[in-house]
Amino acid sequence: AFNGMREIATAIVAMTITLAAVFAPLAFTGGLTGALFREFAVTLAGSVVLSGLIAMTITPMMSARLLKAGQHSRFQRIVDGTFSRVEHVYERAVTASLRNRPVTLIIVVALVALTGFMFTKTSTELAPEEDQGFLLSLVTAPRYATSDYTETYVNQILGLVRDIPETRAQFSAVAFGGATNSAFVGFAFKDWADRKRNSKELQADITARLAKVAGVQAFVFAPPTLPGSGGGLPISMVVRSTGDPSEVFEQAEKIKNKAQASGRFIVVQNSMAYDAPQVTVTIDRERAAALNLPIADVGNTLTLLVGGAEVAQFDRDSNSYDIIPQVPQEFRDNPEKLGEYFIRSVDGKMVPLSAVVKISTNASPAAIEQFNQLNSSTISALPLPGVTTGDGLKVLEDLAKETLPDTFFIDYSGQSRQEKEQGNTILIAFAAAVVVIYLVLAAQFESFRDPLIIMMAVPLSIFGAIVPLNIGLGTLNIYTQVGLITLIGLITKHGILLVEFANQQREVHGMRRRDAIVASAKVRLRPILMTTAAMALGVVPLIISSGAGAAARYSMGLVIFTGILVGTMFTLFVVPMFYTFIASKDLPHLAEKPDPKLMPALPD
């Protein structure tokens, strides 16, 4: 037990520090990533350090006390025999790969290039869509529909969905945000264990039912998975310009129409719309002067008659009442009636308004939007099932690139802005994790070459993780990215075992690089396979979990499971190859063949 502990002590220390260090960037990351994964990083780092201490103290003591030399059960003999045969097969395979290093190197380079290509083609999103137990529907009526009109159709929608057996409750909010033509409808479902369909299946069912409702536009979507991303549709791109608001509207409308025709979205909306009726009263100053009508009196009279402002109060029976002078409703609803208003001139005559003004009607936006001090319009979209928010946003970006003039810019809001910001944060954390691991290994091995050899398996483990995402089993999101960071620390453990033991053989037994790494690979095969199996099986519960947060756990578990399996397979061949290329050169006096009395343990 003591000799075994001495043999792997250096490797244990290196693996412990490496695994703890890989989570350091996550622990110090700000924003949403830090809020979500700070406890995760600190907990795992602490657990790794504690397990390293146990491996170097309690485990050797228990091995010395509990394990008996020479006692082998039938099962143990079968396992030992199986591993012995696997080791011999592997030894021949790794020796053959080292004889054909150029071929192996070409395969590695091709796989790394393929990994980069697949990264660019993998669907992205901020977070996977979770089954949160409820869905939302945004109902939009014609621009100037009354709240009664909107509520009538909301009640019709609630009635269509009421008979779905998975539905537990419904709620609605008409005139949401102050707009009488819009409403939010919510559908709460039974617990996951009490229903047969998930939220995606229910979303498709409700969408089909809502398609029967005429008179309003209604579509169903899942609420944001992560906090802080705001409400509304999941994709939001802002078109900005120093130009006139009408120009911004025109360009945003072009992008909206092209996006709707792309077949990637359920709905695309432009926040700016020139559909608010506006009545313009133009005063003929010469005519007003001829009729002794001060222009100020014309404006004040119009304000008084149609403005609806409070001018005074009166008290009656201990109650106060506002006095709001207005013309009758029929004169306020019809712009043509404005000409029939009479205004008193300076000489006391009543002059019809039509005698001194020109009345015209046009459309204008209800509000002029600005984003970062520039005139703007926000294009919001809901992607079709199977289209991620990242893919949908990429469609809008491409359309903006081919549509907008040079004086226009794009920005992001809501969930899309959060997705862009957190994507950059994770990339920084990923790069920082690689640098930290390299520096830690360089200090541990007192070499700049050995850490490079150890980390050569990292890109290939990422290849194993990105393949299932690329074929549609998942997406590249905040959870899979954290899983990739975790994978860096896990896969370097194998390289540490191989390189550290090969260095021992060269120092103690005077072996050449190739012979030392082959011997190391054969001896370390069994612990590498055992730790790989333990790690892969450990994340299986994440992959098969259900209920709240299942999509997040699946995303992280999937990349770790496939990445560690594929990465281990490549580590067993790639690390030996790069060891023969990069490790320090052999001394001239060293023997061509390994010592036949090779002993794994170090001498006393």
Q: How confident is the model at residue 211 (pLDDT cuts 50, 70, 90)?
A: confident
Q: What is the mean pLDDT of the chain?
A: 83
The CA distance from 131 to 135, in Å, is: 9
Domains, the chain, in order of start with CATH, read 2-121+419-492+525-582 (1.20.1640.10), 134-274+371-416 (3.30.70.1430), 276-364 (3.30.2090.10)
Tell me which range, 216-230, 233-247, 276-290, is most confidently predicted by mean pLDDT. Answer: 233-247
Rounded CA-CA distance 270/27 in Å is 39
Query: pTM value?
Result: 0.76
pLDDT number for residue 601: 44
Listed residue (543, 539, 524) closest to 490, CA to CA: 539
Cα-Cα end-to-end distance for the chain: 14
Q: pLDDT tens-digit profile of 464-506?
A: 999 999 888 888 888 888 888 888 888 888 888 888 888 888 8
Give the pLDDT mean for 350-376: 81
Q: Is the dihedral of CA 45, 30, 555, 494 positive or negative?
A: negative
Distance CA 226, CA 223 (A): 9
Residue 48 has pLDDT above 80, yes or no: yes
Residue 402, both tokens: 């081919």
Confidence of residue 586 (pLDDT cuts 50, 70, 90): low
Map residue 413 onto helix, strand or coil. coil
Q: Which amino acid is at 587?
A: L
Cβ-based neighbour number of residue 227 at 10 Å: 10
Full 3-state SS string of 35-91: HHHHHHHHHHHHHHHHHHHHHHCHHHHHHHHHCCCCCCCHHHHHHHHHHHHHHHHHH
Q: Is the pLDDT assigned to residue 387 strictly greater than 60?
A: yes
Using the predicted structure, report yes or no on whether residue 558 has a pLDDT greater than 90: yes
3-state secondary structure of 469: helix
- Dihedral angle sign, alpha carbons of residues 333, 334, 335, 337: negative
Across 270-274, 364-368, 591-595, the highest mean pLDDT is recorded for: 270-274
**Under a CB-based contact definition with an 8 Å cutoff, are residues 233 and 271 in contact?**
no
**Residue 108, CB half-sphere, CA atoms under 13 Å: how many?**
24
Q: Give dist(CA 476, CA 460) in Å, integer.
A: 17
Query: What are the pLDDT digits (tens) for 92-143?
Result: 999 998 888 899 899 999 999 999 899 888 888 888 888 888 898 888 888 7
Residues 250-288 have pLDDT tens digits of 899 999 999 999 989 988 988 887 776 777 888 888 888
Crossing angle of helices 550-582/478-509, nearest 10°?
Answer: 30
Is the CB of residue 500 less than 8 Å from the CB of residue 17?
A: no
| H or E stretch covering 424 | helix 414-445
Task: Output the pLDDT for position 416.
Answer: 87
Tokens of residue 63, six digits: 């091995």
Q: Which residue has the tokens 């712009």?
A: 335
| Mean local confidence (pLDDT), 28-57 | 82
Average pLDDT over residues 448-466: 89
Average pLDDT rounded to a whole number, residues 412-437: 82
Burial (0-12, 13-18, 19+ Cβ within 10 Å), 197: middle
Per-residue model confidence (pLDDT) at position 565:
92
Task: Give the pLDDT score at 596.
Answer: 43
- Kind and range of the H or E element at 148? helix 147-161
Angstrom distance (rounded) from CA 426 to CA 217: 38
- Two structure tokens written together for 44: 């795992």
The C-alpha angle with vertex 533 and arms to 527 and 535, in degrees rounded to 5, equals: 100
Would you state the pLDDT for residue 598? 46
* pLDDT cut 90: percent of the chain above it: 12
pLDDT > 70 fraction of the chain, expressed in percent and rounded: 92
Backbone angles phi, psi at 272, to 5 degrees: -100, 135
Task: Give Cα 348 to chain centroid, integer Å.
Answer: 71
Q: pLDDT confidence of 244, banded at 50, 70, 90?
A: confident
Over residues 345-369, the mean pLDDT reads 79
pLDDT beyond 60 at 602: no
**Distance of alpha carbon 428 from alpha carbon 194, whole angstroms:** 42
| 196 — pLDDT class (breaks 50, 70, 90) | confident
In whole angstroms, give the CA distance from residue 145 to residue 152. Answer: 11
Cβ-count burial of 526 within 10 angstroms (0-12 exposed, 13-18 middle, 19+ buried)? middle
Q: Do 473 and 540 meet the contact criterion of CB atoms below 8 Å apart?
A: no
CA-based nearest residue to 474, from 542, 571, 381:
542
Across the range 3-23, mean pLDDT stands at 78
| Paired tokens of 377 | 């319009």
Comparing 368 with 381, which gets the higher pLDDT? 381
Stated length of the chain: 604
pLDDT of residue 604: 37
Token representation of residue 295:
């222009």
Using alpha carbons only, give the angle 486, 489, 495 rounded to the nearest 5 degrees: 145
Tell me: pLDDT of 597 over 60: no
- Cβ neighbours of residue 434 under 8 Å, at least 6 residues apart? 455, 458, 488
Q: Give residue 9's pLDDT.
A: 78
CA angle, 179 then 183 then 188, to 5°: 155
Q: Which residues contact 520 (CB under 8 A, 6 or more apart)?
A: 497, 498, 499, 501, 502, 505
DSSP string for residues in 166-212:
TEEEEEEEETGGG-TTEEEEEEEE--GGG-SS-HHHHHHHHHHHHTT
H helix count then E strand count, the chain: 20, 15
What integer pLDDT is reported at residue 560 of this predicted model?
93
How does pLDDT run across 167-179, given as a tens digit for each residue?
A: 888 988 887 766 7
Q: What is the pLDDT of residue 56?
A: 82
> In 446-512, which ranges are continuous DSSP H helix?
449-454, 458-470, 478-509
Residues 442/415, Cβ–Cβ less than 8 Å: no
